[in-house]
Structure 1
């Protein structure tokens, strides 16, 4: 992993800027732009797991890849086997071009940022998570990845993070939770996007997996479903260095896969912080989203 670049849109942690929004340092504008060129060739069997960050991304990457039969072998590092399309640190575009299909990717991009040539060919699974738990998860994400985000984030309290990062559109990575969700929900009429929620997945993982199987048009036997559920178990993922980003979290007390709870936000959010989300949640529900902050 290369070192972080200079500060971009703000000076709290290293970041890049794409479409006037702060993005992680590993997602330079040059890589995002390259996806719109001949350097990246979409295929009709491509699958893209899309989320606003910390909304079950690694969990879904892992399970979807298992469902399609692990075409590029067992997961060694999730970042290489199921690449983040915009991540220039983990895998080169020429290596992505060599992958066997169906290729499974991840993205945190807005729908409008996705290459037009990919929008009509790929199948997208968009997973949303209630913003209260997502906010807490991102707090721990930034502290765990001190090597990337730096000492300022590592030493922040939750209240400092909430006030200085999460609620600031010019600072927060990928902007605001509601903007991201709404832009994808505006595409709900498309038949090549399946909308799922983190909470539904936690409530009944097998039920949601079967929805994905039908959406992807897969023929999957019960043995593969059982193995996918096993591989997608949080205890398994926490222990797996290939899924838990051990190469990026050395020295941290926890890996990137933490608890996976629904409702854990109650231990962190003050009354005013919880109330902050009333407006964003209302906007997303009015746009057709399903938001549950508890099971």
Structure 2
């Protein structure tokens, strides 16, 4: 599975971070923070040299909204749709044909020479990113590549982000929940303010090449949402193949597989995978502050309503 490459990248980053001084763990680029654990300024500066293909499968999601999970679903759907023989299918699902995307599984990760190497990857490429729409390479829009944009309720996203950041040592120092919440709600974290991502993507509601989904919808009915993904990306898959992928990509199945290779990294990537964990963490004051900010910034937008904030972030 593609997760093997993600673990490889994280393990390498964790080892190298031991020699990085705290002040060098973050950098500012184009008005937003990034972490040196997985990004470098030189790569971000030449993002527009990435050459998209019209059949690329683009997955976009703010950190900790479920992109590792949904990315693996898309890899499985692409392999099933390709109707490859068993050897080729194994190569694609384990990443033997796509080492570049496994080592640097997100568009903005890794060294600047990666874009030249990515030209050699076979189609269809499943490309993931945490970037906001205005920061994506222009060729993605020019080639009219289809984009799946993933959202998750902001409160669970914040809690998951903190555990991942502390586990990966992304910040100069370990942060308490209170410290992180203050940074998260003010956008002083890598990739900026989550609510701004919602506002920016709301501008693409009428773009036929962009589809929106939520983490919660996929959790509630994975087979139905995978069918929607397949139809959007023109994957030719049967009902039985979708059910098989549902079983392969449950949270437990993916966490168990991650634990087989490296339990520590597996626990960082896959912690609980539930909806509503924020209720165990948020104080009353923090709830009120997040509710107020959501209401002010995105509640009245169509995407804001699609997230069903009242269902998943109240009570």
CA distance in 2, matches of 1:19, 1:84: 18
Alignment-derived partner of residue 31 in structure 1: 43
Cα deviation 1:13-60 (Å, max 9, x = unaligned)? 7112221110122222321232312xx321110011101110011011
Structure having the higher helix fraction is: 2
What is the Cα deviation at residue 116 of structure 1? 1.3
SS at match of 2:302: coil
Q: Choose which of 160, 167, 182 in structure 1 pairs with 2:185.
A: 167
Alignment-derived partner of residue 96 in structure 1: 118
SS at match of 1:48: strand
SS at match of 2:212: strand
Matches within 5 A, 1:56-75: 56-69=66-79, 73-75=92-94
Alignment-derived partner of residue 244 in structure 2: 227
What is the Cα deviation at residue 245 of structure 1? 11
CA distance in 2, matches of 1:78, 1:129: 28
Q: Structure 2 unaligned runs (5+)? A: 1-11, 81-88
* Shift in alpha-carbon separation, 1:36–1:47, aligned structure 2, 3 A: same
1:194 and 2:211 are equivalent in the alignment: yes
1:272 and 2:285 are equivalent in the alignment: yes
1:144 and 2:167 are equivalent in the alignment: yes
Aligned residues: 280
CA distance in 1, matches of 2:247, 2:308: 25
Alignment-derived partner of residue 158 in structure 2: 135
What is the Cα deviation at residue 74 of structure 1? 2.1
- Higher RCO (CA < 8 A, seq sep 6+): 2
1:41 and 2:51 are equivalent in the alignment: yes
* Shift in alpha-carbon separation, 1:75–1:18, aligned structure 2, 3 A: farther
Q: TM-score, normalised by structure 1?
A: 0.85
1:215 and 2:254 are equivalent in the alignment: no
Alignment-derived partner of residue 28 in structure 2: 17
Residues 62 and 231 in structure 1, CA contact (< 8 A), matched pair in contact too: no
Alignment-derived partner of residue 115 in structure 1: 137
1:291 and 2:307 are equivalent in the alignment: yes
What is the Cα deviation at residue 204 of structure 1? 0.8
Alignment-derived partner of residue 125 in structure 1: 148
Residues 199 and 262 in structure 1, CA contact (< 8 A), matched pair in contact too: yes
